A and B are shown apart, each in its own frame.
Chain A
Amino acid sequence: MRKPIHITAPRPTPEEWAKHFPISKASEKALQALVDQFKATLSGREEAPANLIEPEKRRKRASAA
């Protein structure tokens, strides 16, 4: 049985992520809007899109309908 590698290196900071993957300010803004929307969806403040509902819950909803 293989043992997984324990990653102990410090996690990249937001600044390091930005350095690794430079994008335009406009893209940054658009992605941040998406992140905020996702967070609102996951916290239940907004209805989740169908593809984000877990398959098991989706099946239950379909059978209940």
Chain B
Amino acid sequence: MPPLPDPNGVFLNVPYDQEFSSLYVAYIVGLCQLDMVPHLASEIPGGDRRLNRIFKLIQSCRYSIHDLSRVELSVAPTAVPRFNMPLELGMTITWANLHPSRHAWFVWESEPYRIQRSASDLNGTDAYIHNGTPEGVLRELSNAFWRDRMPSVPQMLTVYGLVDSALNSIFVRNGTRNPYDRSVFMELCRLSSSLTTLFFPPTKPAV
């Protein structure tokens, strides 16, 4: 049996494409603003088989978010459906059904009711609908999770604007234009976590 999951850990199962990058940044910012720790498959170093590494990462997180908003054919001429996200969702559902106290999963979509057509076996699962906007992602994160002290959606949106404006300098520093690269993901998370105290300075511990 693997060790207990990180109670703040959230596995992000999202598409790694340019069109999705603003929502990806919103997920990172929103989760960090809630003092939750995002995790991405690309952060785990190689060695073991990729699927095994992903499964270990899912097991290490108390929660997972599966964004199925871009389950569609890739660009021609290789037009094929994108199965990675449903595959990882399936693995997660099995794990959560076996160990419900260890894992809870959420499905995110951009359009209401589309999931009933794309994955009808998920009927009865209420997807969080983000409407394909960063604001929608932040709003739905606030609908899925809450803490005793948490920023409002406009406050989170302000932090999102700050982090998004820093993205280019992070790219330059890491010699890449890929926001899903491990090094960029790490810096996005560190920057977002450094801004968690922007609206709520940490309280001093009682003496």
Q: A: which residues have CB within 8 A of B?
A: 2, 4-7, 9, 11-12, 14, 17-18, 20-23, 26-28, 30-32, 34-35, 38-39, 42, 49, 51-52, 54
- Assess A7 versus B162: contact at CB under 8 Å? Given A12-B8, A18-B190, A21-B189: no
The answer to whether B126 touches A31 (Cβ under 8 A) is no
Report whether over half of chain B's contact residues are helix, strand or loop; otherwise say mixed: helix
- Residue among B36, B164, B183 making CB contact with A7, cutoff 8 Å: B36
The answer to whether B126 touches A2 (Cβ under 8 A) is yes
Given A7-B34, A42-B198, 10 further pairs, Cβ under 8 A? A9-B62, A11-B196, A12-B37, A17-B190, A22-B186, A23-B187, A27-B173, A32-B194, A35-B194, A51-B161
Instruction: Identify the stretch in B83-91, B93-101, B143-151 within 8 Å (CB) of chain A at 4 or more residues.
Output: B143-151
The answer to whether B144 touches A35 (Cβ under 8 A) is no
Q: Mark B45-84, 1 if CB is under 8 A from A, else 0.
A: 0000000000000000011000000000000000000000
Interface residues of B in 138-182 (CB under 8 A from A): 142-147, 154, 158, 161-162, 164-166, 169, 173
A31 to B170 Cα, complex, angstroms:
9
**Interface bin, chain B:** 35 or more
A51 to B165 Cα, complex, angstroms:
8
Provide the residues of chain A in CB contact with B169, threshold 8 Å. Answer: 30, 34
The answer to whether A12 touches B194 (Cβ under 8 A) is no
The answer to whether B104 touches A5 (Cβ under 8 A) is yes
The answer to whether B143 touches A31 (Cβ under 8 A) is no
The answer to whether A6 touches B146 (Cβ under 8 A) is yes
The answer to whether A17 touches B186 (Cβ under 8 A) is no
B106–chain A nearest beta-carbon distance, Å = 9
The answer to whether A4 touches B187 (Cβ under 8 A) is no
Which residue of B34, B37, B162, B164 has the most chain A CB atoms within 10 A of its CB atom? B162
Provide the residues of chain A in CB contact with B190, threshold 8 Å. Answer: 17-18, 21, 23, 27-28, 31
Which residue of A6, A34, A54 has the most chain B CB atoms within 10 A of its CB atom? A34
B117–chain A nearest beta-carbon distance, Å = 21
- Assess A4 versus B143: contact at CB under 8 Å? Given A9-B7, A42-B158, A51-B164: yes
A5 to B104 Cα, complex, angstroms:
10
A39 to B37 Cα, complex, angstroms:
23
A30 to B167 Cα, complex, angstroms:
12
- Residue among A7, A35, A39, A42 making CB contact with B146, cutoff 8 Å: A7
